[in-house]
Amino acid sequence: MSTRNTVLHALHDVGLAAWFGGSLFGLAGLNAAAEEAGDRRTADRVSSIGWAKWSPVNTLAIGAHVVGGAGLLAENRKRALAQKGHTGTVNAKLALTVAALAASAYTRLVGKKVEDAVIHQQSGVSSSTTTLMSDATTKQGGATATGETVREADKRIGQAASDVAEQLPVDAARANRQLHALQYAIPALTGAIVVLSAQAAEQQRPGDQLRGIARRAGSAVSSIASAAA
């Protein structure tokens, strides 16, 4: 008997949509808008601040996608093994997801190195620029404690990222070049995951499932017959 996995599907789909859409907007919108600032240093500063503001939301989106994807894989593990064709889709999605996670993590570290170079060393501001709540917002009513907690947690995360970024064996100029290349890679990888997710959804059709299972059984019979011969 089939069961509904609405929450898992929602986490998987919404998280992936935000991950892909945010990276694509940052590349095509934020970076392009920052270029209008004129000089290179100002453009890098504006772009770095924008990416840093997005980072906590992106982290939540990635986490939601991973939780939803893992839950769906656990729920459909038998079909993933039994349905020929679907197994390949699942393996390809897993490989792309691991690659996108690695690229996103390294992009954040490289971005933090650039951020520290063009923002913090220039202006002497806090080591984290990712706080989503302004001082004015956090001082209103009951939001004060919550806002302070968010800002403190965000500051610790930003400082930890800065500490790791300082160990990267690249200077700020080289890190900036790497960052731009990585910012192209993430929407490409996550976009491919979107395509494979659509393919996996099509493979859930009853007819596709029956054909895939029959093909898997046929392959097993052929293998046994070949071994016996």
Q: Report the chain's mean pLDDT, rounded to a whole number.
A: 77
pLDDT value of position 178: 85
pLDDT digits (tens, 9 = 90+) for 66-88: 999 999 888 887 766 666 667 88
pLDDT at 221 over 70: no
Asked if 102 and 94 touch (Cβ cutoff 8 Å), the reply is no
pLDDT value of position 135: 46
**6: confidence class by pLDDT, cuts 50, 70, 90:** very high
pLDDT value of position 172: 67
Q: Give the tokens for residue 71.
A: 């839950």
φ, ψ at 135 (rounded to 5°): -60, -40
Give the torsion through C-alpha atoms of 157, 65, 195, 48, to 10 deg. Answer: -20
Comparing 182 with 138, which gets the higher pLDDT? 182
Comparing 164 with 1, which gets the higher pLDDT? 164
What DSSP line would sit under the chain, residue for residue?
Answer: -----HHHHHHHHHHHHHHHHHHHHIIIIIHHHHHTTSSHHHHHHHHHHHHHHHHHHHHHHHHHHHHHHHHHHHHTHHHHHHSTTHHHHHHHHHHHHHHHHHHHHHHHHHHHHHHIIIIIHHH---S-----S-HHHHTSTTHHHHHHHHHHHHHHHHHHHHHHHTTSSS-HHHHHHHHHHHHHHHHHHHHHHHHHHHHHHHTTSHHHHHHHHHHHHHHHHHHHHHHH-
197 vs 89: CA distance, rounded Å: 8
pLDDT value of position 45: 84
Report the Cα–Cα distance between both ends of the chain, in Å, rounded: 39
Asked if 22 and 54 touch (Cβ cutoff 8 Å), the reply is yes
pLDDT at 18 over 90: yes
pLDDT value of position 193: 97
Counting Cα atoms < 13 Å in the Cβ hemisphere of 138 gives 13
**12: confidence class by pLDDT, cuts 50, 70, 90:** very high
160 vs 158: CA distance, rounded Å: 5
Share above pLDDT 70 across residues of the chain, in percent, rounded to a whole number: 61
pLDDT value of position 165: 57
35 vs 46: CA distance, rounded Å: 9
Q: Taking the model in full, what pTM does it have?
A: 0.72
Comparing 129 with 229, which gets the higher pLDDT? 229
Share above pLDDT 90 across residues of the chain, in percent, rounded to a whole number: 31
**132: confidence class by pLDDT, cuts 50, 70, 90:** very low
